[in-house]
Chain A
Amino acid sequence: MAKAKKHSTVIDMTAMSDVTVLLLTFFMLTSTFLPKEPVQVQAPSSVMEIKVPDHNVMSILVDLQGHVFLNIDPASVRLGALDKMAEEYGITFNDKQKKAFVEQPFIGTPMNRLPGLLDLPMLEQDAAMKQYGIPCDSLNNQLARWILNVRAIDEDRELKITIKADQATPYPFVEKVMKNLVKIKENRYSLITVLKGAPEGF
């Protein structure tokens, strides 16, 4: 009886591996990571399907206690705004502090505390920032000053303003920010939400 020839069933995975590595590289290069936020907020959901723009955004973050944080997206504009703010409030920053400022995406302290905060190591900054927030009362409205200084640099008004708040934030805290924006004639802005499906038939 003739014995059937033994076939080896080894599949060469090299080609497959090549393809996956290529895809992996593609995804790694195209993905942009969201800036790390000093406070965790859970945005409310809506049926809107417009995505948040990648660049040129000023995002205002409001936490549950009403602390306000600001992120200005192109780091160059953020640094420019810092220079103007420093001049306005008579504070000087050394080069090390400026470098730390560029690395930290969010601004979240009153101007007089900013140099001290920037001297802290990166990992401790978020925790330190949490207890302050940018003041936005009518007497000391630094949030409005930041935005106005950004607008002074960004003459074509390319930066969009977005507001992100936790869904359980009491309305008066959000209202305060909205009122501030209207006061400096920033009447158009966007609220950040997460997607939920539209109800049946709409």
Chain B
Amino acid sequence: MASIDTGGGEAQKGKPKKQTLRVDFTPMVDMNMLLITFFMFCTTLSKPQIMDIAMPTDQEVDETEVPKVKESKAITLLLGEDNKVYYYLGKLDESAYKDYNTLKETTYSTRESNEGLRDILLERNAEASAQMRALKIEKAEKKVSEEDYKTRSREIKGDIDALTVIIKPTKDSNYKNLVDALDEMQICSVGKYAIVDMTEGDYFLLENYKTKGAFAAANLAPQK
């Protein structure tokens, strides 16, 4: 195919000798393969992922419409500086503000180890996360349909006893911290979480924790 016959008929005396011109296509194939690889990588790998979030409205909402959360099932994360996370459980009262041990410090978990934030969340959300894991396995084995999976995962995550996480990024945190915290919600199957602003009380707690109680001794606890 890649040869061009330049000679004509039988070789005769005095006529030029029959020659076959052969073009080697191997380098061309090599180059094409290289280009194909390049385009394949370009199309599939460069596409970023998205993480959907829904923010609460800033309008005043009717008291009856505010979703109720079990105090014992709530955990508040304060995303601090230098990749530190501070957290406290439930609701705070005055004595909690006085005690600098109310706030505990931890770190973000890495892919390799669950140490830190992930362990804390998993421990408190053991039931939901175990159910979700079982559901995911069922889905991988194609026992449940896509719609069933969605409704069931919503049921598990929306359970009244499931963990509720309130994420409060401080002004010293960075964007990666926020995404890491949101990612942890995904990994630990936490269905109810919200990004909320820091309040005066949260800053009080943080200051108190850093000064080991000296701040609370010198200042009055905030009302809210």
Contact = CB atoms under 8 A, between A and B. Distances in A.
The answer to whether A and B interact is yes
A192 B49 contact: yes
Contacts of B114: 199
Nearest to A181: B55
Given A44-B180, A171-B174, A17 B29 contact: yes
A47 interface: yes
B2 A13 contact: yes
Contact of A27 (B43, B54, B55, B195): B43
Interface in B109-142: 109, 111-112, 114, 118, 133
A188 B55 CA distance: 6
Interface stretch (B33-41, B62-70, B211-219): B33-41
Interface string A160-173: 00101111111110
Q: How large is the interface on B (under 10, 10 to 19, 20 to 34, 35 or more residues)?
A: 35 or more
Contacts of A178: 55, 195
Contact of A46 (B33, B47, B49, B171): B49
B200 to A, nearest CB: 17
A202 B133 contact: yes
Interface stretch (B19-27, B84-92, B155-163): B19-27
B175 A171 contact: yes
Contacts of A192: 48-51
Contact of A12 (B1, B54, B176, B195): B1
A5 interface: no
Contacts of B32: 17, 20-21, 23-24
Contacts of B29: 13, 16-17, 20
Contacts of B109: 199
A193 B54 contact: no
A44 B133 contact: no
Nearest to A174: B175
Contacts of B53: 188-191
A24 B28 CA distance: 12
A17 B57 contact: no
A15 interface: yes
B36 A52 contact: no
A111 to B, nearest CB: 26
Contact of B28 (A12, A13, A181, A183): A13
Contacts of A16: 25, 29
Contact of A191 (B47, B51, B58, B173): B51
Most buried by A among B111, B169, B176, B187: B176
A51 B174 contact: no
B130 to A, nearest CB: 11
A171 B133 contact: no
A139 interface: no
Contacts of B170: 171
Contacts of B195: 178
A46 B55 contact: no
Interface of B: 1-2, 22, 24-26, 28-29, 32-33, 35-36, 39-40, 42-43, 46-58, 79, 109, 111-112, 114, 118, 133, 169-180, 182-183, 186-187, 195
Given A21-B32, A187-B54, 20 more contacts: A10-B22, A12-B1, A13-B26, A13-B28, A15-B1, A24-B36, A24-B39, A28-B39, A47-B187, A48-B49, A48-B50, A171-B170, A178-B195, A187-B56, A188-B55, A189-B55, A191-B50, A192-B48, A194-B48, A199-B187
Q: Which 5 A-B pairs have the closest CB atoms?
A: A13-B25, A20-B32, A27-B39, A167-B176, A190-B50
